[in-house]
Amino acid sequence: MQITAAVCRSNGAPLSIESLQLEDPREDEVLVRVVATGICHTDVAMRDSPVRVPKPIVLGHEGAGIVERTGSAVRKVKPGDHVVMSFSSCGHCPSCYQGDAAYCFENNLYNFSGQRKDGTTALADGKGGLHSHFFGQSSFATYAVCTERNVVPVRADVPIELLGPLGCGIQTGAGAVINALKVYPGSSIGIFGTGSVGLAAVMAARLSGASTIIAVDTQQQRLEMAALLGATHIINAARENTFAVVGSIAATGMNFALDTSGNLAGIRQAVEHLAPRGTCGLINSAKGGDISLNILQLMSGGRVVRGVHQGDSVPEVFIPQLIELYAQGRFPFDKLVKFYELGEINEAIADMEAGKAIKPVVTMGSPSLQ
Ligand SMILES: NC(=O)c1ccc[n+]([C@@H]2O[C@H](COP(=O)([O-])OP(=O)(O)OC[C@H]3O[C@@H](n4cnc5c(N)ncnc54)[C@H](O)[C@@H]3O)[C@@H](O)[C@H]2O)c1
Ligand SMILES: [Zn+2]
Ligand SMILES: [Zn+2]
């Protein structure tokens, strides 16, 4: 079928809106009419990286929409179902068998190779093939083919255009707090970086009953949003001595720390300010940076430093839970969202980069216009 998509043709260049051909879904695939797709920093990192994904490619990995058609083997969803597309995985490695698909042994192949496992792609532009299946979806497009493994059915009484970011950024921040760190009532947590991931973490920390929620950023308006969403303390790292303030708030150390900023010096200090048996979760890869940590401090206090991917989420379970909390008014992630049309995607990315939009979401418009 003919679709409209934002194509990434070369490193760092603006995405171009093009008409493409999309293959029919294969037996284990699902054709989704995309209603809206969130933009995540990982899309921008892939646009700019000369090595991480092959190009030309259609990026986009926070898609939400309505099932149009399913392959013959698909049982999870049917045409008309509202769905969110999340990360993909193999389904038959030790992590997938244990329900931990965020740590799939073939994460790169299923999310970053720009093709199916058999090497084929679902997209073409009339002159040749184009890479597809980014995060098993390539959803900066009016239609996307995903797989039965990464499609998540969701309830139809909540606006579908809002739900795409639950497939990556929002489940990552909330899941890091709820699933990975297992923040508990009365505990303290420092959240470093209050973009979409960090603010989802702030909301989740409040839901988890943390009594001290310290939000740190360099952008004042984001800190004010953090305070609105449940932070008990805010620290502007551009103006204050962050860890002197952290030390005065949590004198015996923080039970938890979560870094979404990728600031290496900050990560090191966050670990130093953990209470005994405290855990620091790392979400931002800091462009592959390294840090050194004091082993005696880790060992004698039983402190843990760990990476967290996709908030340790099982999307089929966690995303509906977050939607129910949203519907109850207890997880207002809509406050982070700013809508753009697909044709404005480069402006949306620029606004995200400039800190003007926390979670941009591009809408695909009415199908009758395509
Ligand atoms: N691990 C995963 O599964 C996963 C999933 C989604 C996103 N990510 C990554 O998570 C990161 C955060 O995503 P986001 O959408 O929230 O990004 P974002 O850019 O909106 O948020 C990062 C925040 O960190 C703040 N910051 C930067 N330097 C700082 C410093 N020195 N001190 C304090 N704050 C500082 C920025 O002002 C910004 O608000 C990105 O790198 C993204 O690629 C990881
Ligand atoms: Zn993402
Ligand atoms: Zn796997």
Say yes or no: CB of residue 121 within 6 Å of ligand 1: no
Q: Kindly state the tokens that stand for 109.
A: 């192949």
Is 40:49 a contact under the CB 8 Å cutoff? no
Query: Which pLDDT score is estimated for 129?
Result: 84
Ligand 3 mean position, distance from CA 111 (Å): 11
**What distance in angstroms lies between residue 146's CA and the mean position of ligand 3's atoms?**
16
Does residue 145 share a domain with residue 54? yes
Asked whether 167 lines ligand 1 (CB < 6 A), one says: no
Instruction: Please name every residue paired with 139 in a beta bridge, in sequence order, or none if there are none.
Output: none
| Nearest to 243, CA basis, from 263, 220, 219 | 263
Shared domain check, 119 and 10:
yes
Q: Decide: 219 in ligand 1 pocket, CB within 6 A.
A: yes
| CATH number for the domain that contains residue 248 | 3.40.50.720
| 139 and 181 co-located in one domain | no
**CA 216 to ligand 1: nearest atom:** 33
| Closest residue by CA, ligand 1 atom 29 | 261
Whose C-alpha lies nearest to ligand 1, atom 17? 195
Q: Is residue 138 part of a domain?
A: yes
Instruction: Tell whether 108 and 158 lie within a shared domain.
Output: yes
pTM of the model: 0.97
Q: Does residue 269 line the site of ligand 1, with CB under 6 A? A: no
Task: Pick the atom of ligand 1 nearest to 283's CA.
Answer: 1
325 domain-assigned: no
- Counted domains in the chain: 2
Phi, psi of 208 (to 5 degrees): -80, -5
- Helix (H/G/I), strand (E/B), else coil: 18: strand
Is position 193 within any domain?
yes
Task: Provide the β-strand partners of residue 144.
Answer: 32
CATH number at residue 19: 3.90.180.10
**Per-residue model confidence as pLDDT tens for the chain (370 residues):** 999 999 999 999 999 999 999 999 999 999 999 999 999 999 999 999 999 999 999 999 999 999 999 999 999 999 999 999 999 999 999 999 999 999 999 999 999 999 999 999 999 998 988 999 999 999 999 999 999 999 999 999 999 999 999 999 999 999 999 999 999 999 999 999 999 999 999 999 999 999 999 999 999 999 999 999 999 999 999 999 999 999 999 999 999 999 999 999 999 999 999 999 999 999 999 888 999 999 999 999 999 999 999 999 999 999 999 999 999 999 999 999 999 999 999 999 999 999 999 999 999 986 443 3
Q: Are 148 and 91 in the same domain?
A: yes
Distance CA(193)–CA(272), nearest Å, equals: 18
Q: Whose CA is nearest to atom 13 of ligand 1?
A: 197
- Answer yes or no: is 323 within a domain: no
User: Cα separations (Å) of 216 from 168, 259, 288?
Assistant: 22, 10, 22
Give the total residue count for the chain.
370
Does residue 359 have its Cβ closer than 6 Å to ligand 1?
A: no
Nearest residue to 25 via CA among 109, 116, 119: 116
What span, in angstroms and rounded, lies between the C-alpha atoms of 239 and 87? 37
Q: How far is residue 186's CA from residue 97's CA, in Å, rounded to a whole number?
A: 34
Give residue 232 CA to ligand 1 midpoint distance, Å.
Answer: 20
Q: Whose CA is nearest to atom 33 of ligand 1?
A: 217
Nearest ligand (C-alpha, residue 197): 1
pLDDT at 369: 37
d(CA 223, CA 346): 26
